[in-house]
């Protein structure tokens, strides 16, 4: 990437937002896998990835709690950005124009 490209690049997400995203994604996958181990005996072989059956049972709630804490901490940081603004309410009132592909009639 040339220096001119670096100056014109818009950073869509900060490093913290990316880290939070991947922590939540990893926790979700781990919670799903450990939940499958606990749910069905045919999938018990997956408990090897968690240190065996007892460790799977111990770790599963902690993985879920970790995921909840990381998500809530992120949600708290972006709470104000996600609240409905007057322009959002205008868009919501014009939902028929969105569905019928009449975008020229939508508010900016």
Encode the chain (108 residues) as per-residue pLDDT tens digits. 566 666 778 888 999 999 999 999 999 999 999 999 999 999 999 999 999 999 999 999 999 999 999 999 999 999 998 899 888 888 888 878 878 877 776 777
Q: d(Cα 81, Cα 88) in Å, to the nearest integer?
A: 12
Q: d(Cα 41, Cα 52) in Å, to the nearest integer?
A: 13
Cα–Cα distances in angstroms (integers) from residue 108 to residues 31, 91, 97, in the given order:
41, 9, 13
Q: d(Cα 64, Cα 76) in Å, to the nearest integer?
A: 18
pLDDT at site 5: 64
Q: d(Cα 48, Cα 60) in Å, to the nearest integer?
A: 14
pLDDT at site 2: 61
């Amino acid at each position: 990437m040339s220096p001119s490209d670096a100056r014109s690049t818009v950073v869509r997400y900060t490093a913290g937002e990316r880290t939070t995203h991947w922590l939540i994604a990893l926790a979700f996958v781990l919670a799903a896998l450990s939940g499958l181990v606990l749910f069905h005996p045919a999938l018990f072989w997956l408990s090897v990835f968690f240190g065996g059956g007892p460790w799977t049972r111990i770790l599963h709630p902690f993985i879920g709690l970790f995921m909840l804490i990381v998500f809530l901490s992120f949600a708290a940081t972006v709470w104000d950005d996600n609240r409905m603004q007057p322009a959002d309410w205008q868009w919501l009132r014009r939902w028929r124009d969105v569905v019928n592909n009449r975008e020229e009639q939508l508010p900016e």
